[in-house]
Amino acid sequence: MTDIRLPLGGLKFSVRVAILCVRGDHVLTNSAESLPFHFLPGGALGTDEDTLDCARREWLEETGVPPGPLRLVGVIENFFGPPEKRQHEIGFYYRMEALDALPGGAFTVKDNADVICQWVPKGEYERTPVYPLIARSLLDVPDGEVRHIVNRE
């Protein structure tokens, strides 16, 4: 299986799957000392892999905990980055209620010791940017709905 990330027409194109894991009024995010922002758990879709299987695989790789029920809440066509490193990403966003097996505090991502998972209060999204910023609008998507967003940063 090969990650779907490739250079195309002067930009990097990728297909990503992300998980909005919610516990009460907190969302699980990833961060690293080298980055001034947070991002959602997940990763690149592999060739011959569907997005739900990718979400399950990425979740298990990062947390070591089998995922709970995942619900697709949005697809974001994301265009971002400076002109010399422009990116076009198609992102599939799944929502999941946090499982009791997840730690209540920060913990290291299982497959990348440089990345930390931590709980960010929904109300602190302005002070703690979680990229893409537009993904926060997917937190309250009602059951049975999937949102499509075009985001240009």
Q: What is the pLDDT of residues 18-49, one digit of tens each?
A: 999 999 999 999 999 888 889 999 999 999 99
Could you give the percent of the chain with pLDDT greater than 70? 100
Q: How far is 125 from 8, CA to CA, in rounded Å? A: 32
Q: Which residues form the domain of 82? A: 5-152
Q: Report pLDDT for 34.
A: 85
Q: How open is the CA angle 101-103-107, to the nearest 5 degrees?
A: 130
Backbone angles phi, psi at 112, to 5 degrees: -160, 100
pTM: 0.95
Q: What is the CATH number of the domain that holds 79?
A: 3.90.79.10
In total, how many domains does the chain have? 1
Which pLDDT band holds residue 1 (cuts at 50, 70, 90)? confident
Q: What is the pLDDT of residues 105-145, one digit of tens each?
A: 999 999 999 999 999 998 887 788 899 999 999 999 999 99
Q: For the residues of the chain, what is the DSSP string, one character each?
A: --BSEEEETTEEEEEEEEEEEEETTEEEEEE-TT-SSEE-SEEEPBTT--HHHHHHHHHHHHHSS-----EEEEEEEEEES-GGG-EEEEEEEEEEEPPTTS-SS-EE-TT-TT-EEEEEEGGGTTTS-EESGGGGGGTTPPTT--EEEEEE-
* Mean pLDDT, residues 50-68: 97
